[in-house]
C-alpha cells in the first residue's frame, strides 16, 4: 500500500516542524487542529498532544518545580493569563 503525495508531504512537514516546533504544538499540529487537514489528522494530533501532557510536559513541570520554581511561575503566568 503506497502513500499519496499529500500524505508524504504532510509527514515530511511534521518531521521538519518537530525540530522547529513552537512551544507545545508544531505548526503542522496547529493546522490539523484548525481543520486544515483530514479529520483523522486532527484526531491523531489531539492524541499526540494528550500524550505530551501526560508525559514529557508533566516531567518538565516536576523538574522545574524542584530546580527552577521561578521559571515555573513564569510558565504559569503565560498558561493562566486568560483565566
52-83 pLDDT, tens digit per residue, is 999 999 999 999 999 999 999 999 999 898 76
E strand or H helix at 38: none
Nearest in space to 45 (alpha carbons), one of 65, 18, 68, 66: 18
In 3D, which of 6, 26, 31 has the Cα closest to residue 16? 26
Provide the whole-model pTM: 0.62
Count CB neighbours of 28 within 10 A.
22
- State how far Cα 63 lies from the chain centre: 19
- What confidence score (pLDDT) does residue 1 get? 46
Distance, in Å, from the CA atom of 3 to the CA atom of 81, rounded to the nearest integer, reads 42
Q: What is the pLDDT of residues 2-56, one digit of tens each?
A: 556 665 555 555 555 544 556 889 999 999 999 999 999 999 999 999 999 999 9
Amino acid at each position: 500500500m503506497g502513500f499519496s503525495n499529500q500524505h508524504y508531504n504532510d509527514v515530511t512537514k511534521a518531521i521538519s516542524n518537530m525540530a522547529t516546533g513552537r512551544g507545545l504544538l508544531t505548526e503542522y499540529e496547529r493546522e490539523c487542529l484548525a481543520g486544515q487537514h483530514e479529520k483523522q489528522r486532527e484526531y491523531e494530533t489531539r492524541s499526540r498532544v494528550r500524550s505530551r501532557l501526560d508525559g514529557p510536559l508533566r516531567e518538565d513541570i516536576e523538574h522545574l518545580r524542584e530546580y527552577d520554581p521561578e521559571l515555573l511561575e513564569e510558565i504559569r503566568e503565560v498558561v493562566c493569563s486568560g483565566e
